Amino acid sequence: MGDFKNLAVYQKAFSLAMNIFELTKYFPVEEKFSLISQIRKSSRSVCANIAEAYRKRQYPAHFRSKISDADMENSETQVWLNFSLACSYISNQNFEDLLNKSLEIGRLLSHMIQNPTKYKTT
């Protein structure tokens, strides 16, 4: 099955986290220890939880739990994107683009939760 970095969901989540990192470089400095740190942390946690789940894929319940954690962090990222838009830190276009990427990641994570045996080691 390869490595967790080969999973499409990981690649998409990593790309989203990097997009968010680049975009938040231009947020106001007063957001450094609040919105910036929160959105960066939650978006990066999606990737970390996918990696942890992949290493535990021989245990379906643990795999589901870690993928569920990734899904939770992905949802949190969406909340911070909403705040970023409401505070006028990102454009509607950036918001829609990032939100759509996050929604796609969410669909992939849901598939993994529903089908853990597809990722099980032999």
Cβ count within 10 A of residue 73: 21
Give the tens place of pLDDT for each residue, 1-29: 579 999 999 999 999 999 999 999 999 99
Q: Which domains does the chain have, with CATH numbers?
A: 4-26+44-119 (1.20.1440.60)
Query: φ and ψ at 83, to 5 degrees?
Result: -65, -40
**DSSP helix, strand, coil percent of the chain (3-state; round to 5):** 85, 0, 15
Task: For residue 73, give both structure tokens.
Answer: 């962090």
Structure confidence by residue, pLDDT tens digits, 25-51: 999 999 999 999 999 999 999 999 999
- What CA–CA distance (Å, rounded) separates 96 from 82? 10
**pLDDT tens profile 48-71:** 999 999 999 999 999 999 999 999
Please tell me the predicted confidence (pLDDT) of residue 122: 60
